[in-house]
Amino acid sequence: MRNQMRNKAKKEGFTLLELMFAVGILAGTLSLLFGSLLSVSLAGGITEDRAVAVTHLSSVMEELSTLSFDQMMAYAPPVFGNLDDNESITLECLDADGGIIPLPADPATLGVTLPNPLVIQCRVTWTAENNRTLSRMAARAFYR
């Protein structure tokens, strides 16, 4: 009878080795889960920043469409500051040869022929949470 009780006691419960394997598998699974949650969170932040940048681009392009040619050439884009402190909006137009002219510029002192339609490119650049520099660009042709 004692032998039967000893055999029963040995068969019940987990060994330390089995418990260590179970804890190891649990730790590995949790680390993968939390790592993927962090990646999803960062991707969501970048997607939100891109949506804000596109809003800035469309705002600047819409404002440009209301200006005359001379006002367009002298236009300095606003600083929105919604993305980060390093956010910058740059404007440039393309001359007849495809060269880039940064705006604002004075067409009388450029010394180049500006085509009709005039293609203006707008670029929003900012630094994301993970210290990566990101940018979005839009271009539009404006007829004089």
Q: What is the pLDDT of residues 57-89, one digit of tens each?
A: 999 999 999 999 889 989 999 988 888 878 999
Q: Is-cis flag, bond preceding 115, omega within 30?
A: no
Q: What is the pLDDT of residues 101-116, one digit of tens each?
A: 999 988 777 777 788 8
Q: What is the pLDDT of residues 21-45, one digit of tens each?
A: 999 999 999 999 988 888 888 888 8
Q: Are 129 and 45 in contact (CB under 8 A)?
A: yes
Q: Is-cis flag, bond preceding 104, omega within 30?
A: yes
Q: Name the nearest CA neighbour of 103 among 140, 77, 134.
A: 77
Question: Given the structure tokens 């990646």, which residue do they identify?
Answer: 39
State the pTM of this model. 0.71
Amino acid found at 54: V
Q: Residue 44 is part of which domain span?
A: 2-142
Structural domain count of the chain:
1
Q: What is the pLDDT of residues 90-143, one digit of tens each?
A: 999 988 888 899 999 887 777 777 888 999 999 999 998 778 899 999 999 998
Look at 2 and 111; give whichever has higher pLDDT: 111
> Residue 115 gets which letter from DSSP?
P
Q: Are 143 and 117 in contact (CB under 8 A)?
A: yes
Q: Check whether 19 has a pLDDT greater than 70.
A: yes
